[in-house]
Structure formats: C-alpha cells, structure tokens
Amino acid sequence: MGKLVHLTCVVILLNPPLLSQSDTSSHFVLWYAQPATEWNEALPIGNGRLAAMVFGGIERERVQLNEETFWSGGPYDPSRPGAAKSLPEIRRLIFSGEYMRAHTLYARTQMGMPVEQMKYAPLVNLLLFFPSQREVTAYRRELDLDKAVASVTYNVGDVAYRREYFCSPVDQVILIRLTASRPGSISFVANLQGVRNIEHSNYGTDYFMMDGEPPNTLVVRGRSADYLGVPSRLRYYCRLEVSTEGGTVSVDAIDLRVSGADAATLVISAATNFVSYRDVSANAQRRVKATFARIKGKSYESIKAAHIAEHQRLFRRVSITLGSSDAAAIPTDRRIKTFTSHPDPDLAALLYQFGRYVLISSSRSGSLTPANLQGKWNQDSNPMWDSKYTTNINTEMNYWIVESANLAECLDPLVKMMIEISRGPGVRVARTHYGAPGWVLHQNTDLFLACAPMDGPTWGTFSTAGAWLTTQMWDHYVYNGDTAYLRKIYRVLKGSVEFFLATLVVHPTRKVLVTCPSTSPENFPKREGNGRYYDEITGLDLPGTSICAGSTIDMEILRALFADFAESSTVLGVDARIRTKALAARARLAPLQINNKGLLDEWLEGWESLEPQHRHLSHLWGLFPGDHINPRDTPQLADAVRKSLNARGDGASGWSQAWKINLWARLLDGERAFKLLGNLVTENTVPNLFSGGGRVMQVDGTLGCASGIGEMLLQSHSHEIALLPALPSAWKEGRISGMRARDGFELAFQWQEGKLVSVTVNSLLGKNCRLRYGETVSEFATTRGKRYTLNGELVLQH
Ligand code: FUC
C-alpha cells in the first residue's frame, strides 16, 4: 500500500461561541412544495467521501450516489519525455512575435499524453418504487443546513409519511428512514442500479453487476471505464441493507421488497480500491463490509445524533442574520426568482450558510480528495469538464471561504493533494517539460494528479496554477499561526519557488523577468496574427492563440508566492539564500501597467481582449484573491481595476459573477457587489441553490458567492480587519459571529440602521489587532485567548 499523507489543520477554539445559536437554526432550511423533476432541483447531502442527491419523488424516489474516488481510468502519468528540448525555440518564437508558430510547436511537443484527463463518475442510483398514491397533500421537501438532514413529508388520506436522509461523516454511511403515522403503511420496492455509460458501452454489465443477497441486501460491484488509453483500474462496491419494524422484507434477484412495515431504515455504503494517486490496491468490498460491521447494533437515532453533532461542530461556528422578511416563508425555488424584485436579505444569509454547508459536505478532514468542480455531486458519466479540478480559477474559488467562514480543517484534502503533487507528479513535469527543479501544476488536475499542460496550448500554458494554490496553503498559516502545519507545507512553497526561479526568463527588450510560455487563462488577446484557425489538438475552430510571455496574472501570483515564501522561510529560520533570491526576482518581475484607457493591462504588450466581456478576470487577481492592490494603498491601480471590471460587465457565468462580488467588495462598493449578487442569484442559480446555470452546476460559484458575501461584511488583509467594508443598503441590520480574520482573530459584530453597533474580538494568537470601520481605526495589542469588546466607534469597552 502506498503512503498516505494525512494532515489535520489545527483550529484553536479558546472561547465559547460569541453569539447565541438561535441565529443558526430554523431559517437555514431549503424547502420546496414539490419533488425534484431534474437533478438541479434535487438536494445534496454528503460527508466529503460519499455524496447523494435526493429527489423526493412520491411514487418513484431517486437518490443518486457518488463516491469521491470513483473516476474513469486508473493511475497514469501524462508527462511527456523530451518535452523540455523544444522550450528554447518556443520562447524564441514568442519573443519574436511568432505566436501561432510558438503555439503549434507547444501543441506538438509539450501537451500531456493523453491530452485530456480522467473523469469523475457517478456510482449508482437508489430507486424506491412506492405503490401508486392518490390524493397526496401537504407535500414538503427540505434540506436543513443546521442538521445536514434532508426530509420529505406528505399525507395520503389520513396517513402522514415522512422520510429522512443524511450522510454520516462519523459512520461513513448514508441513512434513509421511512416512517408513517399509521402502522403497516410502508411498502416499496428498492433497486440499487449501476450507471450505464453510453459513451463507452451499449450495455451496462461490462461495467457493473447488480445482485440481491437475501434476506435484506442489494449490492452493486463495478469498475471504471478505460479512457483515452488509460486502462480501467478502479473497482467499487456499493451495498444497501434494509431493516424494518413490522412488515416483511424479501429479495428477488435485483428487487428488494418491503411490505406493510411500520418503519424502514435503509443503510448504504460504498468504497473503491483507491488508496492514493498511484496505488489502487485496496479491497472495496472489504472496506464496505468493515463499515457495516462498525455500525452493527447502533440505532438509527444514535447514528443520526452523532451525525448531527459532528456536523454542528463545524456548521455552528458561524451564525449570521441579515434581517428577515416575509420571503422566508416562500419556497426556495420561488425566492430565487424574486430576489431582485422583493426584499429578501435572509436569502443572502441562507446562501452564505449554504456555501459553508457545501464545503463541509464535500471536503472534510479525512476526505481523500478536495471538492472537485461539482463538489462531490455528479450524475453524468461524461460530465462537463470531466467534473475534475480546473486550477485556473475553479478549484481555488472552492476554498475561498475555508478560513474566514471558520472551516479551516476543510482545507485538509487540498493540502494533502498539494503535498502529493509537490513531491511526485509535479516534480516529474517540472523536470520533463522544463528541465527545472521544484514542481509545477498547469491548468487542470484529476484523481491521479496529472500536472502536465492539458487540453491544448490555449489553456494548458497556465503554469502558475500550483503557485496560486500554494498561496492558499500559506494563507492557512496566516489565519491559524500553526508552525507545525507550516513545516509540513514548507516544501510545497519552496518547490514552487525553486521552479519559478529556474524558469523565469529575462524579457529581451523590457529586461524584466517573465514567465514564458504564459497565458492569461482562456482569454485571447487582440493582436496581429490572431484569427480563426483549426486547432489540431482539440479539433476545434478557435479564435486564435493565447500564448504569450509574462501575463499579468502570472506576475501577480508570483509576487504573492515569493513574498509568502520569504515570510515562511523567515518564520522557520531556514533557506536565507533562496529567500534573498526570491525577493530579488520578485523585484524584477514585470510591473503592472495601466493603459491609456485607464484599464489594467491583462498582457504585458498592452493588447486588448478579443472578447472584452470575457468571464475570466485573471489580471484583477492582485485585488482579489491577492491583496497587493487595494483602494487605500494603491488607489491608482484600484481605479484601473474598477474600470476594467466595468468594461468586463456584470454578466458571464456563475463563478465569474461570484468573483465579481468579491472584487467589488474589495473595491468597497457594497451596492455594486449586491447588484452582482442579485445577478448571480437570478441568472445563474438553480433551484437547489447551486450556482451554475448554462450547461452545468459547478460548486465554485456557490462557494465563491459565499466568499463574496463574507467579503462584504468583513475583510482582513494588509494586517488590518475592516468591518462592514462593503455593506449594501439592503442589509440594514444584522449580526454575524464566528467569522475568522487573518493573524488569528475570531469576530462577532452587529449593526443597526446600517451602522456598526458593537464588535467582539477573540484573539487566538495574541497578535496586534488593527480594526477599521470606515475611516475610524482602532489598534491595540492583544493577549492570546482574551476577548475584547468595542462599541460602534471602535472604542474598547471594559
Ligand atoms: C474554466 C472556465 C469555464 C468552466 C471550466 C470548468 O475553464 O473558463 O467556464 O468553468 O473552467
């Protein structure tokens, strides 16, 4: 068995919660007056490993299941031997302006093999067929975010039916409990069905086998699909056991029949043989049987109580109220539609808590993988963008709330991934493709940690994805001050710095340091030579090539990476020589430029964009998630960002609008941030509150939206904590407690009539605290573990 790196991020909880828990409870419910008719209406439950979507059907219930390590293919290495040889010529072509030729050479020599990555796949569907029900009344389907329990209730005649669904992180099972107000009323047939992958086979049984095991069990055994020449190596096993109170249970082939029961409990678990990105030697069936053995003798109520307690340990750290309105009584799907026409501040609070719920449910300490493009919820064998990790914005955005929303340990799976990449696959690609030390990750990765440039040079040339994620690894230290953690991730930082110190090149005319090849993710510059052409890698007609040197985002990320590394090596007292080099290189990076329209240049050469309203906002990185642009310290740059944002417009995809909320909040423009929130909710939010719209749900927009709401209420950067920095007039009164700020602070504050009333600060690390509310600033030394209360004018109270 391969070695697994398991990390637990330390969270320091010194004081009890700052406000009462009443804010966390009943109004954090998503509810609907009808069953889901499609996947975007179904309700997500998950424990970071297993995930399910609950449809709540009356006569036909569907619960669609995923297991985080079930992907197509198996371990593989897409790095391309000999790739580094062509690098000098690609650079020469770029610097001499022959971009299309550089693109073609890159395409032919640098792209990973295979050029695409593996796909996150659905596991099974549980179907429950109930006898036909006439005259169903009082139907309600809900997801209680505070308990992490979904439920369905309805009446037939005078019988009240209730179903509950949850996915326990404690016992690693999904539980479904069916009850009725009259004894003997529960009858149904259950099927546990494999998922037919029509792109790979005309029939299902090449990929899975379903079986009934009397007296009360259904199982599915399956395997992953071969994909792009990568052989199927994953195996899974999924098991359903049913127990009843009263009535009978029988199994006939693949049908499990329950008749005349008073209540029924369905227990499902699943596993694969995945151990690590290069090891698939576990036994899936043995894993699942061990899970069932561990819960033997436990009651439904005790499993549920342990589940709720564990969920609330994380969920209840933050409470938020933004004011209520009568809209809270309206079903969630209808509230989305009326968000901009009817005051509903509480929906923003619900979206914030939904984001936290989604992260808790898809990325837990102990999960083997981070939240992917769809979190862990995916029903398609061939999902959009493979439901993998797109690392030119999407994976990063998934984790923007992790620290401020007080969920630090949910970062663990991403930390684990980064450590593994920086020790293995990323090192191989650095060596093979660049002849460089350290490690590198391009614009995508997957379960097997592919790090080579993927998909085509238009996208794959993004070489700072790993550096971006590394800045998020550092941020965890800034929030929590845990040096043991810093030691564990130090090599991630150092390896990334070593890679860029070795690969940055001097721009021949500007004499600054640049990345080359480079790109500004997915955007095409308007420049000579760009025009439609047939791209031999993708087989698509594309508008040109995006290849360049020293894109603005690369420079911004590296400015942050080098600074973070310098600080980390100082804290640990190591590598003074590399620190000096990193800081020297930082000072020589291509500077940010403002063009004659007052916009921030996206490219060094000052090109405009072929698509002025492009969804990516890469060059604005320095404002957010970065922090070296801000209205107070760099007003001219902040103004250029503002103009650039205006030029980009308020539309685009869900995650793009979510990014814009964060950016407008950092520009201290609460009204505009609120407008973007309205656009995101009404244009790109589906009934179950996931953001997506367009072609598919992606959790990035959901989590980025929660981050944006957080940034409107509290910001911490440049060693300063800003309270209500971008409060829109729509949120007149509110309170929040449990939000975290950099340098180890936990805050609670309230406001009335749009004005701060009081704030309480818990000091977790004993650092200097500098609070800002508008132009009022208060600065004071703190003692670790002590709590400080201030009034609305930021005067310390005793
Ligand atoms: C990036 C975006 C797309 C999509 C994909 C998963 O490539 O440009 O819009 O979100 O990631």
The helix/strand count (H/E) of the chain reads as 18, 34
- What residue type is assigned to position 705 of the chain? C
- Look at residue 251 in the predicted model and tell me its pLDDT: 98
Beta-carbon contacts of residue 105 (< 8 Å; ≥ 6 apart)? 86, 89, 90, 93
Question: Do 781 and 792 meet the contact criterion of CB atoms below 8 Å apart?
Answer: no
Q: How far is the CA of 53 from the centre of ligand 1 (A)?
A: 23
- Look at residue 642 in the predicted model and tell me its pLDDT: 98
Q: How far is the CA of 398 from the centre of ligand 1 (A)?
A: 13
- Look at residue 199 in the predicted model and tell me its pLDDT: 75
Question: Do 491 and 423 meet the contact criterion of CB atoms below 8 Å apart?
Answer: yes
Residue nearest to atom 10 of ligand 1 (CA): 394
Q: How far apart are CA 521 and CA 36, in angstroms?
A: 36
Q: 500-531 pLDDT, tens per residue? A: 999 999 999 999 999 999 999 999 999 988 88
**Exposure pattern of 294-303 as b/e (b: 16+ CB <10 Å)?**
ebeeeeeeeb
Q: How far apart are CA 246 and CA 186, in angstroms?
A: 9
CB-facing half-sphere around the CA of 220: CA atoms within 13 A: 29
Q: How far apart are CA 44 and CA 60, in angstroms?
A: 18
Position in ligand 1 atom list of the atom nearest CA 373: 6
Query: What DSSP string runs through 290-359?
Result: HHHHHHTT--HHHHHHHHHHHHHHHHTT-EEE----GGGGS-HHHHHHHTTTS--HHHHHHHHHHHHHHH
Residue 372 Cβ contacting ligand 1 at under 6 Å: no
CB atoms within 10 A of CB 545: 26
- Look at residue 694 in the predicted model and tell me its pLDDT: 57
| Dihedral sign, Cα of residue 622, residue 397, residue 661, residue 743 | negative
- Look at residue 267 in the predicted model and tell me its pLDDT: 98
- For residue 406 the two structure tokens come to 């007080």
Residue 390 Cβ contacting ligand 1 at under 6 Å: yes
Nearest to 271 by CA among 289, 256, 254: 289
Residue 653 Cβ contacting ligand 1 at under 6 Å: yes
- Look at residue 695 in the predicted model and tell me its pLDDT: 65
Position in ligand 1 atom list of the atom nearest CA 653: 9
**Residue whose structure tokens are 């001219």:** 636
Position in ligand 1 atom list of the atom nearest CA 522: 8
Question: Do 324 and 346 meet the contact criterion of CB atoms below 8 Å apart?
Answer: yes
Q: How far apart are CA 428 and CA 436, in angstroms?
A: 9
Residue 522 Cβ contacting ligand 1 at under 6 Å: yes
- Look at residue 460 in the predicted model and tell me its pLDDT: 95
Q: How far apart are CA 476 and CA 767, in angstroms?
A: 16
Position in ligand 1 atom list of the atom nearest CA 656: 9
Q: Is the peptide bond before 183 cis (omega within 30 degrees of 0)?
A: no
- Look at residue 16 in the predicted model and tell me its pLDDT: 39
- Look at residue 14 in the predicted model and tell me its pLDDT: 39
Regions in the chain scoring below 70 on pLDDT: 1-26, 202, 693-695
- Look at residue 327 in the predicted model and tell me its pLDDT: 82
- Look at residue 205 in the predicted model and tell me its pLDDT: 72
Q: How far is the CA of 24 from the centre of ligand 1 (A)?
A: 33
